[in-house]
Structure 1
Amino acid sequence: MTLRPLTAGDRDEFIALTRASLDLHHPWVVLPRTPEDFDAYLARYDHENAQSLLICVRDTGAVAGTVNINSIIRGRYQNGSLAYAAFVPYAGQGYMSEGLDLVLHYAFGQLRLHRLEAQIQPGNTPSLKLVERHGFRFEGLAPALLYVDGAWEDHERWAITNDMLAPGPWPPHPTLPAR
Structure 2
Amino acid sequence: MPSTTTYLVQGPRVAIRHVCRQDYEELAVLSRASSKMLQRWLSARDDTLDAFEAYLKRFEQPTHEGFVVCLRDTGAIVGGININNIVRGTIQSGTLGYTAYASTIGRGYMTEGLGLVVQLAFGQLELHRLEANVQPDNTPSLNLVKRLGFTREGYSANFQFINGDWRDHERWAITTEMARAERASGDAG
| 2:164 alignment partner in structure 1 | 150
Unaligned runs of 5+ in 2: 1-13, 183-189
User: In structure 2, how many angstroms separate the alpha carbons of the residues matched to 1:74 and 1:124?
Assistant: 30
SS of the residue aligned with 1:84? strand
User: In structure 1, how many angstroms separate the alpha carbons of the residues matched to 2:87 and 2:110?
Assistant: 25
Aligned partner of 1:88: which letter? Answer: A
Q: CA deviation at 1:48?
A: 1.6
| 1:177 alignment partner in structure 2 | none
SS of the residue aligned with 1:24? helix
1:128 to 131, 134, 142: 142
SS of the residue aligned with 2:69? strand
User: In structure 2, how many angstroms separate the alpha carbons of the residues matched to 1:47 and 1:103?
Assistant: 18
| 1:7 alignment partner in structure 2 | 20
Between 64-73 and 143-152, the greater mean CA deviation after superposition = 143-152
User: In structure 2, how many angstroms separate the alpha carbons of the residues matched to 1:167 and 1:123?
Assistant: 28
- Aligned pairs (5 A) from 1:88-127: 88-127=102-141
Is 1:138 the counterpart of 2:152 in the alignment? yes
Aligned partner of 1:66: which letter? Answer: G
Give the 3 Å change call, closer, same or farther, for CA 38–104 of structure 1 in structure 2.
same
- TM-score normalised to the size of structure 1? 0.89
Unaligned runs of 5+ in 1: 169-179
User: In structure 1, how many angstroms separate the alpha carbons of the residues matched to 2:61 and 2:72?
Assistant: 23
| 1:19 alignment partner in structure 2 | 32
Matched-pair contact (CA < 8 Å) for 1:32–1:41: no
User: In structure 1, how many angstroms separate the alpha carbons of the residues matched to 2:29 and 2:80?
Assistant: 13
User: In structure 1, how many angstroms separate the alpha carbons of the residues matched to 2:75 and 2:102?
Assistant: 15
User: In structure 2, how many angstroms separate the alpha carbons of the residues matched to 1:10 and 1:167?
Assistant: 35
Q: CA deviation at 1:151?
A: 2.1
Aligned partner of 2:119: which letter? Answer: H
User: In structure 1, how many angstroms separate the alpha carbons of the residues matched to 2:78 and 2:141?
Assistant: 15
**Richer in helix (by share):** 2
Give the 3 Å change call, closer, same or farther, for CA 66–32 of structure 1 in structure 2.
farther
Q: CA deviation at 1:167?
A: 6.9
1:96-142 CA deviation, whole Å, 9 max, x = no partner?
A: 00001100000001101000000001110000000001110001110
Is 1:68 the counterpart of 2:82 in the alignment? yes
